Structure 1
Amino acid sequence: MASVIADDCHIHAVPKPRGGKPRFWCFSHNASATARFGGRMVRCEGAYQTIADFRRFRLNPDDFPGGVALWGAVEPVYNTADEPADRGIHVHARQRPGGKKDIDATFDAVELAVNRDLFNQERVLITAETAVAYYISRFLGRNIVGLFCHHCGTPHLDSDWFAVKPHRVHLCHGCNRLFREEQKRVSNPLEMVHHHLNAIAPAAKMRRAKGSIDIGQSDYPGGLQIWASNPALLWTSDRSEQEGIHVHGWVKPGVNPKLDGTFSNVRIDGIELDEKHLRTFMAQNALTYLKGKVVHLSCPSCGAELFDRGDFAFRPHNEHQCESCGTEFSTAGRRRVVCNPFVTTIKALKAAKRTKGQVA
């Protein structure tokens, strides 16, 4: 059987009972690595429990009075840079308010020192798996709780499809037994450390970015990376966190990006980026079970682009209704998909890059 090793995960394809499509299992953590619809996850559901000591970045916010910020690093929606896309926990830390960033890097996990009182300090671990799942659940406005397995007491993480769909029955990644809750909810260990984070600083205040940019991809031959901003897990700066479209642009690979900012409006090679489409696509792109299922569809009656919102944007379906004219229609072959016009935006950006490159 085929296998893949991702960091400390050792994932094999294993036969499904009674035949059918193979499933994926991590033999390092003895946990499932199968996404919804049978896809293979990059890391298994239990990987968050065993982050090796040498892969943890230890951070005490008190050492950086200028401010500390932590985010779950989600892949950019558009990436033409030679620089690899970050995955993990991205950290900004400053010694002086408004000064240069003394730390601007991404780590596998962050071990955060929290002072409980004058004499006691506690450490909480934030991993890539918990942070990305938390981002998805928060994006959808889910009721997030911190659950423990009823049998062995292991903190429970709902990731990928289960971070989207509230449910009562949960599979423990510690003992591989099912346990049942009275209410349909989504579990994430990060919810249990929120009171620790709030002890350091309350949730950051968001403000809309004001700047706009109109650039060409040829202006940044080292490549571009584009994200929608997502709320920080921790923000201790006195300044407000910006909400908008975040762009990195390199003139030369291997050095810091010349363009690094958050903007209210972004236009690239004459193509306007729709932030609502981009923000939804970034969340969709972080889910293994949606790979290849986010498509562009137009209404067969009026030609309007379809854009699935809310739960419909994360639950593939074959029956669609146009918001403009009300026409109902089915996907060809009754294939289950979700609709987002940003798929076409990405194709247009790639086409513009090829065209400009040929002209140059």
Structure 2
Amino acid sequence: MPIKRVVKNNATYLYLTEEVYDPEKKRGKTVVKKTLGVEEPAAPLNSMTEEFAVVWAENRTLGNAVPFSDRVTGQFPPENNGHGVILPCDIVECGKFRNGKLRWWCRTHQVHWGTKADIQQASESEEGAIRCSNATQPMNYVKNPLILNPDDYAGGIGIWAALPTAINTTVYPDLANVEVHVHVRPEPRGKKTIDANFPAIVIRSTDHTPLFANVSIKRVVIASPSALAYLEALINNLPLGTLYCNRCNHPHLDLGDFAKNPHKKHFCGNCGSDSNWSSEAIVSSPIKELADKLNGNLMFVRSDRKLDLRDYADCQFKIWASTPAILWTSELSQEIGIHVHVYRSDKKIIDNTFGDVTWTDGTKLERENLLSQMLQKCRQQKAPSV
């Protein structure tokens, strides 16, 4: 049943309607079946704030992979980043059921709206608000995220999915969740001015350097779920592409199990359309188009450095398998190996990538085994709770 919106005195009233045939006038007409109430956000208006922010949910597309606005309205915690923001629903038409009736999709919370239970709940709520079943789901957020313009970094941008360690003998904890690691060099072969982890970042295009075939898209969010999904597709040699929705022209992002299993039929998280087909089975991600547009040197070289940790018996270690960058605009080759931090007391004395690492018992560390341990830790991590 379609929803009719009527604006009165700065309030939007919602009505559930139905098309019926009028035998006297011999034509169809719209009749109101039920008054649903006033359209309101999922929280009282006086608790809503507007922030320059990016927001995402674990393993959900959210439509924020390519945001159409920098400003986000919601209930934001006071911290600059974390978990717990509540966003209002954004319910849009998403085609029709087989019986011809309209379907509705909440692109904020990634769920269909309009089942009998949904309508009953909306009509009986005290505020009369139209909310989807995921309306109270807390989400991850970053206020004032790092924004990178590739034109500003002639020395290159490197972006990785930052994973927990494979081995950690230090008192320093592992990452609680996957993050996005960033290197930037303003000058070719110059010093890095950023070498840090972020929950999410934004890559912005310019008129000089459009990043997408859809030139209206000026920015793409790389958040931890999309970074991890893209990395796993890379290391498993899955076919990657960027599929645009044939209904709203929004680039599609596969996450979770959909990013592990290439497929032809894709569900748009922005408009709810399920009629998108790729010519071949792929994993779709906007990052693929970014990489095709911006990637520099695609060569990989294995590190020729050697490290024997038996020489550091009084030290502690953090060890990772190196992983391919999900975005690499540098003219330099990427280095493959085992990345090691060695600490003596509170001082880091080694921070480098090695092709050959001997563990304290004399065995050789294998990069593939370390990578498997890191990915296993990611699978064991749970979404934060509030």
TM (norm. structure 2) is 0.54
2:306 counterpart residue number:
212
User: 1:22-171 alignment to 2 at 5 Å?
Assistant: 29-31=108-110, 52-54=142-144, 56-81=145-170, 82-85=172-175, 87-117=178-208, 122-171=218-267
* Match 1:250 to one of 326, 343, 348: 343
CA distance in 1, matches of 2:169, 2:107: 33
Decide whether aligned partners of structure 1 residues 95 and 264 sit closer, same or farther in structure 2, where only a CA change above 3 A counts: same
1:174 aligns with 2:270: yes
1:274 aligns with 2:366: yes
2:326 counterpart residue number:
233
1:7 aligns with 2:105: no
* Superposed displacement of residue 260, structure 1: 0.9
* Match 1:186 to one of 280, 283, 291: 283
Q: Write out per-residue CA displacement over residues 241-285 of structure 1, whole angstroms, 9 at most, x where no aligned residue.
A: 2111111222244x6x32211111111212321223223443454
Unpaired runs of 5+ in structure 1?
11-26, 33-43, 291-360
SS for the counterpart of 1:129 is helix
CA distance in 2, matches of 1:169, 1:66: 39
CA distance in 2, matches of 1:173, 1:28: 6
Decide whether aligned partners of structure 1 residues 92 and 219 sit closer, same or farther in structure 2, where only a CA change above 3 A counts: farther
Decide whether aligned partners of structure 1 residues 151 and 103 sit closer, same or farther in structure 2, where only a CA change above 3 A counts: same
* Superposed displacement of residue 118, structure 1: 8.3
CA distance in 2, matches of 1:244, 1:238: 19
* Superposed displacement of residue 84, structure 1: 4.2
- The structure with the larger Rg is 2
Higher strand share: 2
* Superposed displacement of residue 161, structure 1: 2.2
Q: Write out per-residue CA displacement over residues 208-257 of structure 1, whole angstroms, 9 at most, x where no aligned residue.
A: 10011111474324xx222211122333444322111111222244x6x3
Kindly provide the amino acid, as one letter, of the partner of residue 206 in structure 1: F
2:50 counterpart residue number:
none
* Match 1:263 to one of 333, 342, 354: 354
SS for the counterpart of 2:232 is helix
Q: Write out per-residue CA displacement over residues 148-182 of structure 1, whole angstroms, 9 at most, x where no aligned residue.
A: 44555543222232211112344443355544526
Decide whether aligned partners of structure 1 residues 123 and 234 sit closer, same or farther in structure 2, where only a CA change above 3 A counts: same
* Superposed displacement of residue 192, structure 1: 2.6
Decide whether aligned partners of structure 1 residues 170 and 262 sit closer, same or farther in structure 2, where only a CA change above 3 A counts: same
Decide whether aligned partners of structure 1 residues 68 and 171 sit closer, same or farther in structure 2, where only a CA change above 3 A counts: closer
SS for the counterpart of 2:184 is strand
Identity %: 31
Kindly provide the amino acid, as one letter, of the partner of residue 101 in structure 1: K
Contact 1:204 1:234 in 2 (8 A): no
The 10-residue stretch of structure 1 (281-290 or 101-110) with the greater mean CA deviation from structure 2: 281-290
CA distance in 1, matches of 2:210, 2:326: 25
Higher helix share: 1
CA distance in 1, matches of 2:326, 2:221: 12
Kindly provide the amino acid, as one letter, of the partner of residue 266 in structure 1: V
Kindly report the root-mean-square deviation, in angstroms, between the aligned alpha carbons of the 2 structures: 3.9
Contact 1:161 1:289 in 2 (8 A): no
Contact 1:70 1:91 in 2 (8 A): yes
Q: Write out per-residue CA displacement over residues 80-123 of structure 1, whole angstroms, 9 at most, x where no aligned residue.
A: 33154273221122345555432111112222244453899944
Decide whether aligned partners of structure 1 residues 185 and 113 sit closer, same or farther in structure 2, where only a CA change above 3 A counts: closer
Kindly provide the amino acid, as one letter, of the partner of residue 192 in structure 1: E
CA distance in 1, matches of 2:257, 2:300: 28
* Superposed displacement of residue 136, structure 1: 0.5
Contact 2:107 2:271 in 1 (8 A): no
TM (norm. structure 1) is 0.57
CA distance in 2, matches of 1:119, 1:289: 36
* Superposed displacement of residue 191, structure 1: 1.5
SS for the counterpart of 2:323 is coil
